[in-house]
Structure formats: structure tokens, C-alpha cells
């Protein structure tokens, strides 16, 4: 494989890419413009946006990316967008979406779920104090919701992570007492967590 000429190697990535785009055909070269003298497979290309590291993407303002919903979007569409961000592990955008959802639709039936997922977005980023507050909100304001038992479990886990052992054990013990019909998965997680925290 022939080596890339020194002049091309020294060019910044942006310059090489623009040179390749502007001068695809050497016969149409205008004076003063750089010429791409390397074979096509030697060009340096800028990676697509999705290849940019996650940390750099998260540094961008989250609100700019939330404009993907059409104006006619329903509350369910907005909630589903937040869930999509959670599934992609884009927790900062999930947080922003769930906060916006709660502000715009405070009486929507999905409000308890959005509060739970807001807490989960904090929990996954190890922001345990914010997570505990969000989960506490679910267990106090929406204690009959489908996410109430999960929220109480996550509240206990958040408190344990904050080294609040007594409060964590109280929250974990409350799960099966307050929600005897909680799923087997939640009950098993409570048992594991109680053993781990040494309640």
C-alpha cells in the first residue's frame, strides 16, 4: 500500500476532508484550491456524530436534542421518548425529558411512571441524593401506582449508597409490608439488598 504524501499527512483532518470533497476530479481543479493526491482509501475522514464519545455528547445542551418530537406529539409520545433515552442509556436526556413531561402534564396518568424514570436516570449516574428524592416522591404522592414498590426498593438502594443504613433498611423493610403483592423480582431484590446492607 503506498504511503500518504507528507503534505497530506500534515493537513488537519478538516482540511483533508474538505479537499477531498471539493476536488473529486483533478481535471476540474481551480487555482488556489488544494488537490487530493492520495488514493481514496487513504483519506482521513471525520467519524459520524454517533461515534463521538458519550461524555462529549452529554456535554452538549440536552434541550437542543429534545426538539425531535413533532408539535402534535401526545403526552404518551413524550413519555415514550424519555423511555427510549433510558433504553439507550442516555440518562441526561432521559432526565430532561421526564422533567419536561412532569411540568407540561402534571395530571397525566403516566406522571408516577415519569417520576420513577426520573429517579432511575439519577440512580444510573450515581446521583443518589437526587434519585432518593425522586423515588420518595413516587412512594409518597403516588403510593398506589404500579411503580410504587419499585420506587421504594430504589429508595432503599439510594439511601444505602449514601451510607444511610438505618433509613435504607427501613425503606427496604417497608417494601414487602406495604406492597405484599409486589412482583417476585422486587421481593428477591429486597432480600438481596437487605443482606448486602446487613439490615
pLDDT tens-digit series, residues 27-80: 444 445 444 444 444 333 333 434 434 444 444 444 444 545 555 678 898 899
What single-letter DSSP state applies at residue 28?
G
pLDDT above 70 covers a percentage of the chain that reads 64
Residue 177 has pLDDT above 80, yes or no: yes
> Which of the pair, 137 or 58, is modelled with greater confidence?
137
Residue 12 has pLDDT above 50, yes or no: no
> Which of the pair, 90 or 53, is modelled with greater confidence?
90
CB count in 10 Å sphere of residue 46: 11
Q: What is the mean pLDDT of the chain?
A: 75
| Cα distance between residue 167 and residue 17, in whole Å | 58
Residue 165 has pLDDT above 90, yes or no: yes
Q: Give alpha helix (H) positions in the chain.
A: 6-10, 13-22, 54-59, 62-65, 75-87, 91-104, 111-124, 128-141, 148-161, 165-178, 184-197
Residue 191 has pLDDT above 90, yes or no: yes
Distance from chain centroid for Cα 72 = 24
> Which of the pair, 135 or 11, is modelled with greater confidence?
135
CB–CB of 62/92 below 8 Å?
yes
CB count in 10 Å sphere of residue 33: 11
| Cα distance between residue 8 and residue 34, in whole Å | 10
| Cα distance between residue 143 and residue 146, in whole Å | 9
Residue 86 has pLDDT above 90, yes or no: yes
Q: Is 124 helix (H, G, I), strand (E, B) or coil?
A: helix
Amino acid at each position: 500500500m503506498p504511503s500518504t504524501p507528507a503534505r497530506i499527512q500534515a493537513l488537519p483532518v478538516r482540511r483533508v476532508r474538505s479537499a477531498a470533497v471539493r476536488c473529486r476530479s483533478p481535471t476540474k481543479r481551480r487555482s488556489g484550491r488544494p488537490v487530493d493526491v492520495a488514493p481514496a482509501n487513504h483519506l482521513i475522514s471525520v467519524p459520524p456524530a454517533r461515534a463521538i464519545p458519550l461524555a462529549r455528547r452529554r456535554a452538549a445542551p440536552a434541550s437542543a436534542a429534545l426538539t425531535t418530537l413533532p408539535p402534535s406529539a401526545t403526552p404518551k409520545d413524550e413519555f415514550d421518548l424519555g423511555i427510549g433515552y433510558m433504553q439507550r442509556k442516555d440518562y441526561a436526556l432521559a432526565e430532561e425529558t421526564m422533567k419536561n413531561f412532569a411540568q407540561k402534564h402534571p395530571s397525566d396518568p403516566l406522571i408516577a411512571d415519569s417520576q420513577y424514570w426520573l429517579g432511575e436516570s439519577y440512580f444510573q449516574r450515581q446521583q443518589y441524593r437526587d434519585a432518593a428524592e425522586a423515588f420518595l416522591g413516587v412512594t409518597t404522592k403516588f403510593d398506589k401506582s404500579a411503580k410504587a414498590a419499585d420506587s421504594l426498593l430504589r429508595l432503599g438502594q439510594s439511601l444505602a449508597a449514601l451510607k444511610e443504613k438505618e433509613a435504607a433498611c427501613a425503606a427496604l423493610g417497608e417494601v414487602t409490608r406495604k406492597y405484599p403483592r409486589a412482583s417476585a423480582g422486587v421481593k428477591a431484590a429486597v432480600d438481596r439488598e437487605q443482606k448486602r446492607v446487613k439490615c
